[in-house]
Structure 1
Amino acid sequence: MSRPKTIDSFFKKKCASHSEVNSDTPLNRPLATDLNASVIDERPSKCPRILPEEIDATSLQRDPGKRPQIWEFPVNLQDEMRRAYLRAGPCQPILKPTEYPVSGPENHRRRFQASWFQTYSTWLEYSESKDAIFCHPCYIFAKKSTGRLGSDAFTVKGFKNWKKVNDGMNCPLMGHVGTDPNSPHKIAVKCCEDLKNYSRHIGKLIEKQSSQEIENNRLRLKTSIDSVRRLAFQACAFRGHDESSDSKNQGNFIKLIKFLATFNDKVDGVVLTNAPRNAKYTSPQIQKEILHIFATKVRDVIRKEIGDAKFCILVDEARDESKREQMAIILRFVDKDSFIRERFFHIVHVKDTTALTLKKKICDFLSCNDLKIQNIRGQGYDGGSNMRGEWNGLQALFLRECPYAYYVHCFAHKLQLALVAASR
Structure 2
Amino acid sequence: MAIILRFVDTHGFLREHFFQIVHVHDTAAATLKKEICDVLARYNLEIHNMRGQGYDGASNMSGAFNGLQALFLRDCPYAYYVHCFAHRLQLALVTCDEKEISIWFFISNLTTIVNLVTSSSKRNAELQSAQVNEISRSIAVGERETGRGANQMGTLHRAGTTRWSSHFDSICGLIDMYEATIVVLEFIITDGSSTSMRGEAGGSLTVMKSFDFIFILHLMHKIMAITDLLCRALQQKFLDILSAMDLVSTTKALLLTLRNDGFDILLSYVKSFCTRLDVDIPDMSARYKRSSRSSQQKDTITFEHHFHYDIFNTAIDFQLEELNSRFSDETVELLMLSSALDPNDNFKWFDIDKILTLA
Identify the structure with the greater helix proportion.
2
TM-score normalized by structure 1?
0.22
TM-score normalized by structure 2?
0.25
Question: Whose RCO is larger (CA < 8 A, sep 6+)?
Answer: 2
